Amino acid sequence: MHQTTRQRSQRTLKRPVSITGVGYWSGRENRVELEPAAAGAGVVFVREDLSDQVVIPAAVDYRVEASSRTNLCAGGGRVEMVEHLLSALAGLDIDCCLVRVHGEEMPGLDGSSRAFVEAIDAAGATELAAAVDPIVVDSVVRIGDDTSWIEASPPRFSGLSVDYELDYGAGPIGRQTLSLRVTPEAYRTELAAARTFLPAEDAERLRSEGRGLAATTNDLLVFGPDGPIGNALRWPDECVRHKVLDLVGDLSLAGRPIHAHVRACRSGHRLNGALAARLAASLQPASA
């Protein structure tokens, strides 16, 4: 991997904007305030509810393993389920943003990133006096095994493109594929409204463990034998679209926009994060 200057400036928000909602896992309300940030700042979370206002950079070094979501931890503070917000910021080319939060878990909203996109668009974007310096993949990097894997290869254009295969075998989710060049326009129309999904048996298991009690079939897609329970699909292939939405958010933890063609099969947050870490590590100078 190497770095090169992308032909655009870094971008931030024109003005602050906020989103409030309840976390799926905790059931607690959280207010998320997105504010403009200086060039080079990246995306940084601030836990306003903690006495020391803990600062947590949206970077792979602060990622902690979690089931079915992406969490970050630094300075004794944590932010949970950040992938949808990070995906919206990365998908709309917002490079620098201060994210003030008043709780640990991000709002689940409707299980997609649409509300975050609408808030960002309402705030508007402005260019900063610094160029974007992306990670440009120049050789194939592959992580995983024969069952689930993800790989990045040299870009097909100046940016990110994705080929994703989801395969749940026989059943209502089944096998779905999506190929997409990720641009702000494509993100808004093809990914942002795609919602979190899970089979009914997984939803029941989570409830039996006392988790996810705040989420209902009205909030996200819970698949029974005949399809989503009490909820209509926004696309026939909404599930694979959500997987790509998550992927965009997880890869943003590399800290720079990624120029690559990414192929993935049954990849989730763990493998996505591992690829982001590998790409971020490629920017570090070799040790003496």
Q: Identify whether 228 is part of a domain.
A: no
When divided into structural domains, the chain yields a total of 1
Distance in angstroms (rounded) separating the CA atoms of residues 203 and 222 = 7
Residue 149 lies in a domain: no
What CATH code is carried by the domain that includes residue 110? Answer: 3.30.230.20
DSSP codes, 16-68: -EEEEEE-TTT--EEEEEEEE--TT--EEEEETTSTT--EEESSGGGEE--TT
Instruction: Name the maximum alpha-carbon separation found in the chain.
Output: 59
Q: Is 221 inside a domain boundary?
A: no
Query: How far apart are alpha carbons 86 and 217 in whole angstroms?
Result: 24
User: Residue 112: which pLDDT band, with cuts at 50, 70 and 90?
Assistant: very high
Could you tell me the pTM of the whole model? 0.94
Q: Is residue 122 part of a domain?
A: yes
- Quick one: tokens of 253? 């933890």
Query: In the Cβ-directed half-sphere of 53, how many Cα atoms lie within 13 Å?
Result: 6
Convert the pLDDT of each residue in 60-95 to its tens digit: 999 998 878 899 999 999 999 999 999 999 999 999
Answer whether 57's CB lies under 8 Å from 38's CB: no
Closest to 96 in 3D by CA, of 33, 44, 133: 44
Per-residue pLDDT, 3? 44
Question: Average pLDDT of the chain?
Answer: 92
Contact 274, 153 (CB under 8 A): no
- Write down the pLDDT at residue 205: 81
Helix axis angle, 269-281 to 238-251, nearest 10°: 30
Residues 43-55 pLDDT 10s: 999 999 998 889 9
Q: Is residue 142 part of a domain?
A: no
Task: State mean pLDDT over 214-234.
Answer: 87
**Which residues constitute the domain of residue 93?**
8-133
Helix or strand or coil: residue 274?
Answer: helix
Q: Answer yes or no: are the C-beta atoms of 94 and 120 closer than 8 Å.
A: yes
pLDDT of 136 strictly over 70: yes
Q: Which amino acid is at 146?
A: D
Sign, Cα dihedral of 225, 231, 234, 239 = negative
Q: Evaluate whether 142 touches 150 at the Cβ level (below 8 Å).
A: yes
- Report yes or no: 162 and 179 within 8 Å, Cβ to Cβ: yes
In a domain, 150, yes or no: no
CB atoms within 10 A of CB 218: 11
Q: Which residues are catalytic?
A: 269
Instruction: Label residue 250 by pLDDT band (50, 70, 90).
Output: very high
In a domain, 76, yes or no: yes
CA distance 190 to 112: 12
106 within domain boundaries: yes
| Torsions phi, psi for 61 (to 5 deg) | -65, -20
End-to-end CA distance of the chain: 19
Which tokens belong to 84? 């949808």
- Over 80: is that where the pLDDT of 161 sits? yes
φ, ψ at 86 (rounded to 5°): -60, -35
